[in-house]
Amino acid sequence: MPEPDVIYNPHLEGEAFYWESGGKAGDSASATQPGVLLIHGFTATTAEVRPLGNILHQHGYTISGPLLPGHYTHPDDLNKVTWQDWTNEVEDAYQKLKSSCHPVFAGGESTGGLLALYLAIRHPEISGILAYAPALRLIASRWDIFRLHLLARFVPNVPKPSLDGSDLWQGYPVNPLKGALQLIKLQNVVYPDLNKIHQPVLIVQGRLDTTVHPDVPEIIASRISSEVKEIHWMEQSAHTVILEKELEEIGKFTLDFMERNS
């Protein structure tokens, strides 16, 4: 358990979790149940995906919520990991889920959505992708990125200007800069291979998002090779779209998307 003074909303549950499904009505006890991998974002914890996970679990899905390395400990730890540490963690979580569930969907918020796209590129057997504010491109200029590279050499982290999700979001109140550079590296790995994605993809972004660039949904939709690609803009939501007031609506069309593409 991390020290309370380095975690915003330390009272929330932020550890990795695995909620097995009780099954859907009419299913036999031995039937393979559908599963969903839900991945949290940069500096956050699994508290970020638990509300949506609860909705999906109540409808018969097994839910896996891995905790990304460098998170829910101390901000300094996020400056010591690589993007490969994150992909290895979600790969392990996916393999565990796949061993007992079918179909399997992969999804996540922000960096978690980017990691879900990464998995889709490498695992064509995944049934579909749930990308909530996927952090493929941030609202940052080239100069901002250049400054980040320079500053990361001397400054471990900078305070966040604001914290989305208020009472429901948990994580570091600062941005570890070397960790942020690993996110940019992951973007550069995923972007050129988007055309390798053939699975159905659901993309959800808040109209009030000030973190992920508003062009991201169309960039993804135009570059992937999927026949099924849906974009939903949430007019009253910001970056942490699955923690905000339109979560119930998001849960409904997420369930519908998975039912249609199982």
Query: 31-68: per-residue pLDDT in tens?
Result: 579 999 999 999 999 999 999 999 999 999 999 999 99
Average pLDDT over residues 236-247: 96
Q: Domain of 155?
A: 4-260
Task: Output the CA torsion sign for 233, 237, 242, 248.
Answer: negative
Q: Model confidence over 157-192: pLDDT tens digits? A: 999 887 765 789 999 999 999 999 999 999 999 999
pLDDT tops 50 at residue 30:
no
Beta strands, E only, the chain: 17-19, 33-39, 62-65, 101-109, 128-132, 157-159, 174-176, 201-206, 229-234
Residue pair 107/37 in contact by the 8 Å Cβ criterion: yes
Task: List Cα–Cα distances, 242 to 55, 145, 185, 188, in angstroms.
Answer: 11, 27, 25, 25
pLDDT tops 60 at residue 24:
no
User: Could you tell me the CATH number of the domain that includes residue 155?
Assistant: 3.40.50.1820
pLDDT at res. 29: 44
pLDDT tops 90 at residue 206:
yes
Q: Which of 34, 38, 40 is nearest to 14 (CA)?
A: 40
Domains: count for the chain: 1
pLDDT at res. 137: 97
Amino acid at 185: K
Q: Model confidence over 119-159: pLDDT tens digits? A: 999 999 999 999 999 999 999 999 999 999 999 999 999 99
pLDDT at res. 22: 73
Average pLDDT over residues 198-217: 97
